[in-house]
Protein backbone atom coordinates (compact mmCIF):
# COMPACT_ATOMS: atom_id res chain seq x y z
CA UNK A 1 0.00 0.00 0.00
CA UNK A 2 1.40 3.40 -0.93
CA UNK A 3 2.20 5.85 1.89
CA UNK A 4 -0.33 8.41 0.71
CA UNK A 5 -3.02 5.72 0.61
CA UNK A 6 -2.11 4.66 4.15
CA UNK A 7 -2.35 8.25 5.35
CA UNK A 8 -5.77 8.61 3.70
CA UNK A 9 -7.02 5.38 5.32
CA UNK A 10 -5.76 6.47 8.77
CA UNK A 11 -7.36 9.94 8.45
CA UNK A 12 -10.66 8.43 7.31
CA UNK A 13 -10.64 5.91 10.16
CA UNK A 14 -9.93 8.62 12.76
CA UNK A 15 -12.69 10.78 11.27
CA UNK A 16 -15.25 7.95 11.38
CA UNK A 17 -14.34 6.89 14.93
CA UNK A 18 -14.35 10.51 16.08
CA UNK A 19 -17.81 11.08 14.60
CA UNK A 20 -19.15 7.92 16.24
CA UNK A 21 -17.88 9.01 19.65
CA UNK A 22 -18.96 12.62 19.16
CA UNK A 23 -22.49 11.66 18.18
CA UNK A 24 -23.06 9.54 21.29
CA UNK A 25 -23.34 12.53 23.63
CA UNK A 26 -24.46 15.86 22.23
CA UNK A 27 -23.75 18.89 24.46
CA UNK A 28 -26.28 21.71 24.75
CA UNK A 29 -25.97 25.13 26.34
CA UNK A 30 -28.92 26.07 28.55
CA UNK A 31 -29.83 29.67 29.42
CA UNK A 32 -32.81 31.53 30.76
CA UNK A 33 -34.29 33.91 33.28
CA UNK A 34 -36.50 33.20 36.27
CA UNK A 35 -38.35 35.65 38.51
CA UNK A 36 -39.76 35.49 42.05
CA UNK A 37 -42.98 37.06 43.45
CA UNK A 38 -41.02 40.29 44.22
CA UNK A 39 -39.91 40.50 40.57
CA UNK A 40 -36.28 39.74 41.40
CA UNK A 41 -34.58 37.96 38.50
CA UNK A 42 -32.35 34.90 38.55
CA UNK A 43 -30.23 33.73 35.63
CA UNK A 44 -30.23 30.10 34.54
CA UNK A 45 -26.96 29.03 32.92
CA UNK A 46 -25.15 25.79 32.24
CA UNK A 47 -25.35 22.77 30.02
CA UNK A 48 -26.64 19.27 29.63
CA UNK A 49 -25.68 16.31 27.46
CA UNK A 50 -28.12 14.27 25.42
CA UNK A 51 -27.36 10.62 24.80
CA UNK A 52 -28.20 10.40 21.09
CA UNK A 53 -28.56 6.62 21.31
CA UNK A 54 -31.14 6.51 24.12
CA UNK A 55 -32.69 9.94 23.44
CA UNK A 56 -32.42 10.96 27.11
CA UNK A 57 -30.70 13.79 28.94
CA UNK A 58 -27.67 11.99 30.35
CA UNK A 59 -25.98 14.68 32.41
CA UNK A 60 -26.87 18.16 33.68
CA UNK A 61 -24.74 20.95 35.07
CA UNK A 62 -26.89 24.03 35.64
CA UNK A 63 -26.61 27.08 37.90
CA UNK A 64 -29.70 28.92 39.20
CA UNK A 65 -30.24 31.10 42.27
CA UNK A 66 -26.67 30.48 43.43
CA UNK A 67 -27.09 26.71 43.53
CA UNK A 68 -25.82 23.92 41.28
CA UNK A 69 -28.50 21.69 39.73
CA UNK A 70 -26.92 18.39 38.76
CA UNK A 71 -29.08 15.43 39.85
CA UNK A 72 -31.62 14.41 37.20
CA UNK A 73 -34.53 12.87 39.12
CA UNK A 74 -37.05 12.37 36.31
CA UNK A 75 -37.60 13.03 32.64
CA UNK A 76 -40.10 12.05 30.00
CA UNK A 77 -42.48 13.13 27.29
CA UNK A 78 -45.49 15.23 28.20
CA UNK A 79 -47.50 15.34 24.98
CA UNK A 80 -45.40 17.15 22.39
CA UNK A 81 -43.18 18.60 25.13
CA UNK A 82 -40.48 17.08 27.32
CA UNK A 83 -40.43 17.39 31.12
CA UNK A 84 -37.10 17.41 32.95
CA UNK A 85 -36.76 17.54 36.76
CA UNK A 86 -33.39 18.24 38.35
CA UNK A 87 -32.51 18.68 42.01
CA UNK A 88 -29.65 20.41 43.72
CA UNK A 89 -27.23 18.28 45.75
CA UNK A 90 -27.32 20.90 48.54
CA UNK A 91 -29.38 19.84 51.57
CA UNK A 92 -32.14 22.11 52.87
CA UNK A 93 -32.23 23.08 56.55
CA UNK A 94 -32.78 20.12 58.85
CA UNK A 95 -31.68 17.58 56.24
CA UNK A 96 -28.49 15.55 55.97
CA UNK A 97 -27.19 12.38 54.35
CA UNK A 98 -28.79 10.38 57.17
CA UNK A 99 -32.05 12.39 57.01
CA UNK A 100 -32.65 12.63 53.25
CA UNK A 101 -36.42 12.50 52.87
CA UNK A 102 -38.86 14.46 50.72
CA UNK A 103 -38.23 18.19 50.74
CA UNK A 104 -34.53 17.86 51.52
CA UNK A 105 -33.45 19.22 48.12
CA UNK A 106 -34.72 22.09 45.98
CA UNK A 107 -36.19 20.94 42.67
CA UNK A 108 -36.00 22.59 39.24
CA UNK A 109 -38.63 21.60 36.67
CA UNK A 110 -38.15 22.50 33.01
CA UNK A 111 -40.53 21.86 30.12
CA UNK A 112 -38.62 21.70 26.85
CA UNK A 113 -40.16 22.45 23.46
CA UNK A 114 -39.09 19.05 22.12
CA UNK A 115 -37.75 15.68 23.18
CA UNK A 116 -33.96 15.40 23.54
CA UNK A 117 -33.83 13.44 20.26
CA UNK A 118 -35.58 16.30 18.44
CA UNK A 119 -33.29 18.85 20.13
CA UNK A 120 -30.38 16.95 18.54
CA UNK A 121 -32.05 17.00 15.10
CA UNK A 122 -33.06 20.68 15.32
CA UNK A 123 -29.82 21.81 17.05
CA UNK A 124 -31.74 23.14 20.03
CA UNK A 125 -35.09 24.50 21.10
CA UNK A 126 -36.63 26.49 23.89
CA UNK A 127 -37.71 26.07 27.48
CA UNK A 128 -41.44 26.75 27.35
CA UNK A 129 -42.14 26.56 31.10
CA UNK A 130 -40.30 26.05 34.33
CA UNK A 131 -40.17 26.66 38.02
CA UNK A 132 -37.80 26.06 40.90
CA UNK A 133 -39.12 25.37 44.40
CA UNK A 134 -36.65 27.05 46.76
CA UNK A 135 -37.90 25.48 50.00
CA UNK A 136 -35.42 27.11 52.38
CA UNK A 137 -36.22 30.55 50.94
CA UNK A 138 -39.95 29.79 51.16
CA UNK A 139 -40.93 30.71 47.61
CA UNK A 140 -40.96 29.47 44.05
CA UNK A 141 -39.34 31.18 41.08
CA UNK A 142 -40.86 30.85 37.62
CA UNK A 143 -39.47 30.93 34.11
CA UNK A 144 -39.57 34.17 32.12
CA UNK A 145 -37.68 32.84 29.08
CA UNK A 146 -35.25 30.08 28.27
CA UNK A 147 -33.35 28.47 25.42
CA UNK A 148 -31.46 25.28 24.66
CA UNK A 149 -28.80 25.58 21.95
CA UNK A 150 -26.37 23.05 20.52
CA UNK A 151 -22.86 23.69 21.78
CA UNK A 152 -20.65 24.29 18.73
CA UNK A 153 -17.41 22.40 18.25
CA UNK A 154 -14.36 24.52 18.95
CA UNK A 155 -13.14 26.25 15.80
CA UNK A 156 -9.60 25.10 16.51
CA UNK A 157 -10.59 21.42 16.24
CA UNK A 158 -10.90 21.42 12.44
CA UNK A 159 -7.75 23.55 12.15
CA UNK A 160 -5.87 21.03 14.30
CA UNK A 161 -7.02 18.10 12.13
CA UNK A 162 -6.01 19.97 8.96
CA UNK A 163 -2.58 20.70 10.45
CA UNK A 164 -2.03 17.05 11.30
CA UNK A 165 -2.93 16.06 7.74
CA UNK A 166 -0.55 18.68 6.30
CA UNK A 167 2.30 17.48 8.54
CA UNK A 168 1.67 13.91 7.43
CA UNK A 169 1.75 14.96 3.78
CA UNK A 170 5.01 16.90 4.27
CA UNK A 171 6.61 13.91 6.00
CA UNK A 172 5.55 11.62 3.16
CA UNK A 173 7.02 14.03 0.55
CA UNK A 174 10.30 14.30 2.48
CA UNK A 175 10.63 10.50 2.64
CA UNK A 176 9.82 10.20 -1.06
CA UNK A 177 12.44 12.81 -2.00
CA UNK A 178 15.04 11.09 0.18
CA UNK A 179 14.28 7.76 -1.52
CA UNK A 180 14.69 9.35 -4.99
CA UNK A 181 18.06 10.95 -4.03
CA UNK A 182 19.37 7.64 -2.60
CA UNK A 183 18.39 5.73 -5.76
> What's the pLDDT tens digit per position in 144-178?
999 999 876 555 556 666 777 777 777 877 887 77
Q: Tell me the C-alpha to C-alpha distance, in Å, between residue 128 and each of 15, 56, 81.
A: 37, 18, 9
Question: pTM here?
Answer: 0.71
pLDDT at res. 7: 56
Report how many helices (DSSP H) and strands (DSSP E) the chain contains, helices first.
3, 9
For the residues of 10-57, what is the DSSP string, one character each?
Answer: HHHHHHHHHHHHHHHEEEEEEEEEEE-TT--EEEEEEEEEEETTTTEE
Tens of pLDDT, residues 25-47: 889 999 999 999 999 999 999 99
Cα–Cα distance, 78 to 114 (Å, whole number):
10
Contact 141, 42 (CB under 8 A): yes
pLDDT at res. 154: 59
Cα–Cα distance, 34 to 66 (Å, whole number):
12
> pLDDT confidence of 24, banded at 50, 70, 90?
confident
pLDDT at res. 22: 47
Cα–Cα distance, 104 to 94 (Å, whole number):
8
For the residues of 107-136, what is the DSSP string, one character each?
Answer: EEEEEESS-HHHHHHHTEEEEEEEEEEETT
Amino acid sequence: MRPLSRLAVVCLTVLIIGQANASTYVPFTVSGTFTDPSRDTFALAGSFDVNATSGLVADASLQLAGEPWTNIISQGSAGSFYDLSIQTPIFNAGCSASNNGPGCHDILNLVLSASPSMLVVDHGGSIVAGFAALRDAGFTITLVNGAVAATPLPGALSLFATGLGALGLLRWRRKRKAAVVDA
